Structure 1
């Protein structure tokens, strides 16, 4: 039987595994999430910029709703819904 003192090189046979796990943990902590928007996505964002005419229209509707003067025609709304869904098929 061979007995080595406390200073031999293989005192902890799992040391390599422990250091590898620690390295993996450090790598995980150093990584950060990234978000990249494609050129197509950027074009969509730019096209969604509010035009002044559209903003004026929205403001008029908001004012009418707040004053209680905004009226919705349920028949026209139903017709548009039916037309929309019948064209999808």
Structure 2
């Protein structure tokens, strides 16, 4: 059985298309830009409540690491009881 190709490999139109698209992409490199509004910048700074919360969390972390933090089991049980019975 003899198979005759109607085009040679060098005349592949897909290959030509890929070659030209690669050349165009190389010539037109796009650079991403990020613009942040003034409102977004203000939101990133945070508010006083968040800063106070961070300070409290840091203090608790230090107490836990030092082994000085004690859990009040009665207060935990009371909060759990209130949570499950108020609903």
Instruction: Report the TM range for the smaller structure's normalisation.
Output: 0.3 to 0.5
TM-score (norm 1): 0.42
